[in-house]
Amino acid sequence: MVARLAAILILLAGLAGTARAQDGAPLTPRQVQDVQQIIRSYLTAHPEIIANAMEALREKMQAQAAAATRQAISAHKTELFDDGNDPIAGNPKGDVTIVEFFDYNCVYCRASTKALLDAVKADGDVKVVYKELPILTPSSVVDSRMALAAMKQGKYEALHRAFMAVRGLLDAKMAYGIARGTGLDMARLKKDMKSAAVTEEIRRNKELASALGIDGTPTFVIGDMMFAQALDAAQFTELFHAARADEKVGSQSEK
């Protein structure tokens, strides 16, 4: 705080040094010193001004970031919520959709998985869209390819949950073992993992994440809100209610 105050004082003093008198002439060195001293004395006597200014700046920056997020989500609404290639869970016709960007080797993603599915099950009217975003380890790419390939055999959800239940690194050897345990046709799985469709799905997800400013997992998108953190079941439930309320307000404002 002292360092910030000193920096602000120096800035204000510098501004005072460029000031001009009422007649348009530059202030004399003595006048500049007097102005600087007045600024220092006032801020020393009223340090809350600095704190208030810092808080106002923080709130302004947060508001600007939130506005930018809403704009980005709106610009990529179809890719986020209505990409027919994405694996989904919950109620496909739910009135609320939540999108999750995740990596199977992300401990915070694992921590959120059961909470999300429990909240979705309890609600009954929420659609979950999964966005595979393998960015943490080389094995994460193998894991995501395997999960997406499992979609062709109707086994995505089973494999997804099994992968998220792992503790420690989910390497290729372990992933293949889990896949066998879910009853997948392994020859077909390995072939589909190399398909152009799987490669394109991961590429699109990474491109979309970049466009939205997402650089970590888990990241959840619901309505016009984005949350880059692990959440518990109660928090997910609150988000579902908030999204419905926002949608209701938006619909009424359009009438």
What does the pLDDT read at residue 12? Answer: 52
C-alpha closest to that of 85 among 234, 208, 242? 208
Helices 138-150 and 172-181: crossing angle in degrees, nearest 10, is: 20
R_g over Cα of the chain: 26
Q: Rounded to an integer, what distance in angstroms lies between the CA atom of residue 178 and that of residue 105?
A: 15
- Give pLDDT tens digits for 172-205: 999 999 999 999 999 999 999 999 999 999 999 9
Q: Find how far residue 198's CA is from the centre of its chain.
A: 23
In the predicted structure, residue 231 carries a pLDDT above the cut 90: yes
Domains and CATH numbers, the chain: 2-74 (no CATH), 77-254 (3.40.30.10)
- Is residue 101 a contact partner of residue 205, using CB atoms and an 8 Å limit? yes
Q: What's the chain's average pLDDT? A: 87
Mean pLDDT calculated for residue range 34-61: 79
Higher pLDDT, 5 or 111: 111
Q: How confident is the model at residue 20 (pLDDT cuts 50, 70, 90)?
A: low
Q: What pTM value is reported for the model?
A: 0.75
What does the pLDDT read at residue 1? Answer: 45
Higher pLDDT, 11 or 242: 242
Q: Rounded to an integer, what distance in angstroms lies between the CA atom of residue 224 and that of residue 36?
A: 46
